[in-house]
Chains A and B, each alone.
Chain A
Amino acid sequence: MRSTAREFVRPNRFIAMAIAIVVVFTGLTVRLWDLQVVSGAHYRDLAEQNRVLRLPVEAERGTIVDRNGKVLARNLPGFAVTVIPVDVPRGKQEELAQRLSPLVARKPADVFNAIDVQRARNPYEPVKISLRPVARDVALLLTERGEMFPGVRVEAESIRSYADAVLYSPLLGYVGPVTEEEFASLREHGYLQTDLIGRTGLEFQYEQYLRGQYGWREIERDAAQREIKQLAYSSPTTGNSVVLTIDDRLQKLIEAELKKGVDEDKFTQAVGIAMNPQNGEILAMYSNPGYDNNWFINGITPEQMAQLNGDDRHPLVNKAIGEIYPPGSTFKMVTGLSALNEGVANRNTIVNVTSNVLNVGGYNFYDWRAHGTLDFVNGFAHSSDIYFYTLGGGNPNTGRAGVGPEAIYKYGSDLGFGRKTGIDLPGEANGIMPSPAWKLTAFEEPWTIGNTYHESIGQGFVAVTPLQLLNAYSIVANGGTFYQPHLLKEVVDPQGRVVFTRQPNVVRKVNIKPENLTLLREGARRVVTIGHAYMPNAKLPIAGKTGTAEFGSAAGKDTAGRNKLGFHNWFVSFLPKADNTDPTADIAMVIFTFDSSRSLCENCFNPAVGMTQRILEAYKLGTP
């Protein structure tokens, strides 16, 4: 019987086999549905990410130029070495680090770690391995022997380069690598891990203008990470140029004088600032010691950093705005204006300085000589301390009233002391404009008449930045307008179009009567013609005020072996168009020497005066 002959066929097992086949293919189909239909878009993205790499194309940073187009910060071509971690097999990372180490002058462990860190962050993004630009032959080696350097790319980069680095470093600052913490917030603004960013100075202040718009290019790459072809390209846009109000010629004239003094150890530090009182443009700003900001660009060495940090003059601080000093007699302008405007004094107010000592309440307050009878102009011109003690604090011995510390505080604040001017530079100090209330808070002590006397001649608590002092005199020179000091003149795009022009910013009109400002200008002119800052063979109608502040020890040497001479010398000046009291000055200047001797020249009491005369005459009368 056929049925018995075919008992080797077991139908149940055939059914089971058929079901197994159906189950296998159903399982595979369900899984495929999940991968391809449900998650297709996700995997398509991953395939694109595999295949397409979008690489940034760096844009050149804009230049910084002075008002006449002289380039102060530019870019030089160089090469950067970057690594894309996803292209480095883990097993080869150690070997790669060893090979790259000597070429980029870093420890193998540092190279290894840099790749590791980036691998954890985003392995598809390149991380810059070279701290400073590498030489052309290294770049060539890396590109020609690509198989030995998996994942390594050599990219053209531009290196910031500063002309007259030490001269302009206090102003320009420098650019430096984006830090780990900053990158978190910066990346959404298009910054790369490998980017440089303005760290301080104008590079920091005007990052928004200077930074270029990065482009990108999309490349197709194979599994071996070779670039197959470029798929798309978006070109970068160079950053805008920042045009400063600075005049390089004036800057260098100031440098020539002040650097010579420091080099000859006549003083240890110096500041010179020039400004146009009519609009607040800073024409020059010099701070000595400066530093070579190119050091930071090329990767500062530990030795260089130690040198900067070990200098107790703090070369990294822009003294023009970042440090505060007693203004000395230059502050008599504030005392005088307070007294004049409050009606305590006028041009005919007489003080008889018959002795060089004023004794009040058992304390002696000295003048530098017994001047005799002084009116306002002569009191200012000869910088009589007792004249201004009297205007400020009065004379209890005679019952004469002074204008008092509250008024000095009011006018001093009005003229910009005790608060940042708002100049477009980071790191500006507030200064101290003291008042009785301030002293009570700061020292928990009541104000004394001695405090008023000291303040009246710019000693004691009052402390100013050189810029604040210059700014206050500029207000006097222009007839009462507080223009915000600024360094930005305009912003120019790569095609040369002006995209932004900085307008003069009036902070306030000071609350001082014009005739009082005129009187002060007259006094300041008399300082030069008959007084404390006599200028021999003067060719310009310079007006100004000296100041000498005593501080600390006037003997010995500092840690760097420089003479400690114990005096700060100020000369703050302005130059009217003609020898009159009109508010026409288009240049005001402050020269400040730190730790200088009391007298450095035969004909003057103050080294800053002669320097001012030479600088202004050379600038105004010399050929540009």
Chain B
Amino acid sequence: MRRSASPLHDRPHTRRLDQVDPYLLIATLLLIGYGLVMTYAVTVESRTLTGDPMQFVIRGAVWAAIGVAVMATVAMFDYAWLGTFAPLLYLLTLGLLAVVLVIGTSSLGAQRSVNFGGLSFQFSEVAKVLMIVVLAKFFADRIDQIGSPVTVVGALAFLGPAVYLVYRQPDLGTSLVFVAIFFGMAFMAGARLWQLVGMVAVAGASFPLIWGLLKPYQQGRLLAFLDPYADPQGAGWNIIQSLIAVGSGGPTGKGLTAGTQSPLGYLPIAESDFVFAGLAEDLGFVGAVILFALYILLLLAALRIAFRARDSFGMLLASGVVAMLVFQILVNVGMAISLMPVTGIPLPFISHGGSSLVSICFALGVLQSVSMRRTGPELG
């Protein structure tokens, strides 16, 4: 087993500020700004109700500032430190998820957040990023035996407890994000395709078993996805109202805050799960395509960082982040336009929520760290 480099054993790699990825940075800042604008737009009604006009926007801006600070700070450190502390981070991940289950606050029937100091933290958002680090370390250390089923199954063994804890909250959507991260990273690490395809096939074959494990509301959401109009007042309501919001936005939208579906309450969880529907209603096809363009810029920049990474650990870190973001965007937007079943996955940058934003900023800080250290000192 070849251990990846660690600052504890090796000299830290040179930090090169000129190698900060400008595309990733620009895309990140623009998306954070876009997110603040949408927070403003979809909370118009709540703001007038609470009598605190900018409450949500200010809170969002504070989180954005924290996120940018975290990103900058993380970028300063050599990402190799993460590899060094990966075992601890893994324990931290499981610990955070266990804490949620034990003392988490219930909301909409699920224990997903922990309240601390008047703020609510979604530890599973943090756990996703930490899990990327853990898997990157795991795969990087075994990059030579990546073709072995033992490697893939071993990674799954690390992943399993985290997925289970998230699923128990219950948060099926986020546990699927973990699975997507795993597949994305295993793929980029070079795992044999037949092993990955085989796992998907096994999962598909055991679907009837999984179906039985699902909660009734989860089954209802899946059925509603297949036919929203079977129960338009019940399980299909969210899907139908979301489609109406998106479709009614038309090519150019109704104008920021001029949408009706979200402020009148037809869109559930309009600032988070269904934020894309509100965006598409207000800003239309044009607004959505601009968002997509920023995402593509961000993802391709992240992919380039992975491609140019100094080592397999950095490459896998970036790959994991790409996999996580692509999956979340696909599921969240897909849900709003009825291409995906309803799950409570936030839309990166756009959904209002500090934990999600700071976690992503942390991950992007790591990517910048990878980018800045892509040309290490020539060894030998």
Binding site for B on A (CB under 8 A): 8-11, 13-14, 16-18, 20-22, 24-25, 27-29, 31-33, 35-37, 39-44, 46-47, 50-51, 86, 89-91, 220-224, 228
**Residues of chain B contacted by A37 (CB below 8 angstroms):** 250-251, 285
Interface pair A17/B241, CB less than 8 Å apart: no
Interface pair B247/A44, CB less than 8 Å apart: yes
**Residues of chain B contacted by A27 (CB below 8 angstroms):** 339
Interface pair A29/B315, CB less than 8 Å apart: no
Kindly provide the distance from the CB of A116 to the nearest chain B CB, expressed in whole angstroms: 13
List the 9 closest A-B pairs by CB distance, nearest first. Answer: A43-B247, A40-B250, A223-B265, A8-B312, A47-B248, A222-B264, A43-B248, A36-B285, A44-B248
Residue of B289, B307, B330 near A9 (CB, 8 A) is B307
Tell me, in angstroms, the Cα distance from A220 to B260 when the chains sit together: 10
**Residues of chain A contacted by B260 (CB below 8 angstroms):** 47, 50-51, 220
Kindly provide the distance from the CB of B253 to the nearest chain A CB, expressed in whole angstroms: 9
Query: What's the interface size class on B, roughly?
Result: 35 or more
B interface majority secondary structure:
helix
Tell me, in angstroms, the Cα distance from A91 to B220 when the chains sit together: 15
A17-B303 contact, Cβ under 8 Å, with A8-B312, A25-B295, A28-B333: yes
**Residues of chain A contacted by B245 (CB below 8 angstroms):** 47
**Residues of chain A contacted by B333 (CB below 8 angstroms):** 28
- The 8 listed contacts between A and B (C-beta, < 8 Å) are A8-B143, A28-B333, A29-B289, A32-B288, A40-B251, A43-B247, A47-B244, A222-B265
Tell me, in angstroms, the Cα distance from A13 to B193 when the chains sit together: 11
Interface pair B329/A24, CB less than 8 Å apart: yes
Kindly provide the distance from the CB of A236 to the nearest chain B CB, expressed in whole angstroms: 27
**Residues of chain B contacted by A21 (CB below 8 angstroms):** 296, 299-300, 303, 322, 326
B358 CB–A CB distance under 8 Å: no
A32-B337 contact, Cβ under 8 Å, with A18-B300, A47-B261: yes
Tell me, in angstroms, the Cα distance from A363 to B3 when the chains sit together: 138
Tell me, in angstroms, the Cα distance from A25 to B300 when the chains sit together: 12
Interface pair B248/A14, CB less than 8 Å apart: no
**Residues of chain A contacted by B35 (CB below 8 angstroms):** none
Interface pair B303/A14, CB less than 8 Å apart: yes
A8-B330 contact, Cβ under 8 Å, with A36-B251, A222-B265: no
Interface pair A25/B264, CB less than 8 Å apart: no
Kindly provide the distance from the CB of A218 to the nearest chain B CB, expressed in whole angstroms: 13
Interface pair A224/B265, CB less than 8 Å apart: yes
Tell me, in angstroms, the Cα distance from A222 to B306 when the chains sit together: 47
What mask results when residues 352 to 363 of chain B are scored 1 for a CB within 8 Å of chain A, else 0? 000000000000
Which positions 253-270 of chain B face chain A at CB distance < 8 Å?
260-261, 264-266
Interface pair B296/A40, CB less than 8 Å apart: no
Interface pair B246/A35, CB less than 8 Å apart: yes
A36-B303 contact, Cβ under 8 Å, with A17-B187, A222-B264: no
Which positions 294-340 of chain B face chain A at CB distance < 8 Å?
295-296, 299-300, 303, 306-307, 309, 311-312, 315, 319, 322, 326, 329-330, 333-334, 337, 339
Interface pair B315/A13, CB less than 8 Å apart: no
Interface pair A29/B339, CB less than 8 Å apart: no
Residue of A9, A24, A36 near B246 (CB, 8 A) is A36
Kindly provide the distance from the CB of A27 to the nearest chain B CB, expressed in whole angstroms: 7
Kindly provide the distance from the CB of B329 to the nearest chain A CB, expressed in whole angstroms: 7
Tell me, in angstroms, the Cα distance from A228 to B265 when the chains sit together: 12
Which positions 198-237 of chain B face chain A at CB distance < 8 Å?
231, 233-234
Tell me, in angstroms, the Cα distance from A266 to B250 when the chains sit together: 81
Kindly provide the distance from the CB of A94 to the nearest chain B CB, expressed in whole angstroms: 14
Tell me, in angstroms, the Cα distance from A33 to B280 when the chains sit together: 11
Residue of B143, B249, B339 near A28 (CB, 8 A) is B339
Tell me, in angstroms, the Cα distance from A150 to B74 when the chains sit together: 53
The residue among B243, B248, B281, B306 with the most chain A CB atoms within 10 A of its own CB is: B248
In chain A, what residue has the closest Cβ to B259? A47
**Residues of chain B contacted by A28 (CB below 8 angstroms):** 292, 329-330, 333-334, 337, 339
* Interface contacts beyond A14-B303, A28-B330, A35-B246: sample of 8 additional A-B pairs, CB < 8 Å, sorted by A: A14-B306, A14-B307, A18-B303, A21-B322, A28-B333, A41-B250, A43-B248, A47-B260
A36-B280 contact, Cβ under 8 Å, with A13-B188, A14-B307: yes
Interface pair B334/A223, CB less than 8 Å apart: no
Tell me, in angstroms, the Cα distance from A321 to B249 when the chains sit together: 64
Kindly provide the distance from the CB of B294 to the nearest chain A CB, expressed in whole angstroms: 11
Tell me, in angstroms, the Cα distance from A489 to B251 when the chains sit together: 61
Interface pair B285/A43, CB less than 8 Å apart: no
Tell me, in angstroms, the Cα distance from A37 to B143 when the chains sit together: 47
A8-B190 contact, Cβ under 8 Å, with A24-B326, A36-B249, A42-B247: yes
What mask results when residues 167 to 192 of chain B are scored 1 for a CB within 8 Å of chain A, else 0? 00000000000000000100111100
Kindly provide the distance from the CB of A6 to the nearest chain B CB, expressed in whole angstroms: 9
B284 CB–A CB distance under 8 Å: yes
**Residues of chain A contacted by B319 (CB below 8 angstroms):** 17
Kindly provide the distance from the CB of B360 to the nearest chain A CB, expressed in whole angstroms: 17
In chain B, what residue has the closest Cβ to A10? B190
Which positions 3-39 of chain B face chain A at CB distance < 8 Å?
none
Residue of B243, B264, B326 near A20 (CB, 8 A) is B326
Kindly provide the distance from the CB of B100 to the nearest chain A CB, expressed in whole angstroms: 29
Residue of B247, B315, B322, B334 near A39 (CB, 8 A) is B247
Tell me, in angstroms, the Cα distance from A539 to B184 when the chains sit together: 115
In chain B, what residue has the closest Cβ to A52? B260
In chain B, what residue has the closest Cβ to A87? B233
In chain B, what residue has the closest Cβ to A20? B326
Kindly provide the distance from the CB of A211 to the nearest chain B CB, expressed in whole angstroms: 35
In chain B, what residue has the closest Cβ to A91? B234
In chain A, what residue has the closest Cβ to B292? A25
Tell me, in angstroms, the Cα distance from A237 to B234 when the chains sit together: 40
Kindly provide the distance from the CB of A4 to the nearest chain B CB, expressed in whole angstroms: 12
Tell me, in angstroms, the Cα distance from A50 to B333 when the chains sit together: 22
The residue among A14, A16, A24, A36 with the most chain B CB atoms within 10 A of its own CB is: A36
**Residues of chain B contacted by A46 (CB below 8 angstroms):** 244, 247-248
**Residues of chain B contacted by A89 (CB below 8 angstroms):** 233-234
Kindly provide the distance from the CB of B289 to the nearest chain A CB, expressed in whole angstroms: 6
In chain B, what residue has the closest Cβ to A40? B250
**Residues of chain A contacted by B300 (CB below 8 angstroms):** 18, 21
The residue among A20, A28, A40, A50 with the most chain B CB atoms within 10 A of its own CB is: A28
Interface pair B337/A8, CB less than 8 Å apart: no
Tell me, in angstroms, the Cα distance from A224 to B263 when the chains sit together: 12
Tell me, in angstroms, the Cα distance from A13 to B139 when the chains sit together: 16
In chain A, what residue has the closest Cβ to B316? A8
Tell me, in angstroms, the Cα distance from A20 to B244 when the chains sit together: 28
Tell me, in angstroms, the Cα distance from A222 to B184 when the chains sit together: 42
In chain A, what residue has the closest Cβ to B327? A24
**Residues of chain B contacted by A18 (CB below 8 angstroms):** 300, 303
Interface pair B246/A43, CB less than 8 Å apart: yes
The residue among A221, A222, A223, A228 with the most chain B CB atoms within 10 A of its own CB is: A223
A40-B248 contact, Cβ under 8 Å, with A13-B188, A17-B187, A50-B241: yes
**Residues of chain A contacted by B330 (CB below 8 angstroms):** 24, 28
Interface pair A25/B244, CB less than 8 Å apart: no
**Residues of chain A contacted by B296 (CB below 8 angstroms):** 21-22, 25
Kindly provide the distance from the CB of B296 to the nearest chain A CB, expressed in whole angstroms: 6
**Residues of chain A contacted by B303 (CB below 8 angstroms):** 14, 17-18, 21
